[in-house]
Structure 1
Amino acid sequence: MTEKTFVAAARLEDVPPGTKIVVEVNGISMLICNTLDRIFAVRNLCSHAYETLECGRMRNGWISCPVHGARFDLETGAPINPPATMAIDTYEVRISGETIEVAV
């Protein structure tokens, strides 16, 4: 089993509750999302239309694609409603002091 490597992605102060930011980690565009008193990390790409999710609405643990409205669970990446049928990539997150780290 390969040991996970965690990389610093953002500072907690950069992602207040109810907000999200775009970061790049190892060449991958990710969204760091703060909702439901948790920090989530997902790939910044809709699995349906391959559009970025950064302008999508985020509520109660999900994010929507701004193009067709497909919603995705931020914890599992699973699609919640059509037209998306495939999950988006999610990344394990840990907090180290004031730093948000993402597993790559």
Structure 2
Amino acid sequence: MRNIEWIAAAELDAVPQDDVIGVEVGGRDIALYSVDGEIYASDNICSHGHARLCDGFLDGHEIECPLHQGKFDVRSGKALCAPLTEDIRCYPVKIEDGRVFLALA
């Protein structure tokens, strides 16, 4: 069994409730979402067009891309509607000592 490498992504209080922010973690552009007290993480670039999801609109567990209004489920990365045809990658999250950590591998 391999060990999971957890990388610090942000302070927990830097992620506003029911909103999304963009951060760079391990050289990757990541979106962090706070929904109903839970933190989720995904790639920050839309799979359809080169738009940053952190510039989109978060409605519950759905992030709307600011470019073509496609929506993804932030819990799974699943593409929910046209024009999206490809999911985005999501990452495991843990909260420890008031900080958000991600497993990127």
TM-score (norm 2): 0.93
- How far apart, CA to CA, are the structure 2 residues paired with 1:2 and 1:44? 27
1:12 maps to 2:12: yes
Task: Tell me which amino acid in the other structure corresponds to 1:98.
Answer: G
1:94 maps to 2:100: no
| Worse overlay, 92-101 or 30-39 | 30-39
1:77 is aligned to 77
1:68 is aligned to 68
Aligned residues: 104
Q: Deviations over 1:27-77 (max 9, x none)?
A: 100011101221001111101112211110001111011010000000110
Alignment gaps of 5+ in structure 1: none
* Identity within the alignment, %: 33
TM-score (norm 1): 0.94
- How far apart, CA to CA, are the structure 1 residues paired with 2:49 and 2:20? 20
- Alpha-carbon distance, 1:22 to partner: 1.1
1:35 is aligned to 35
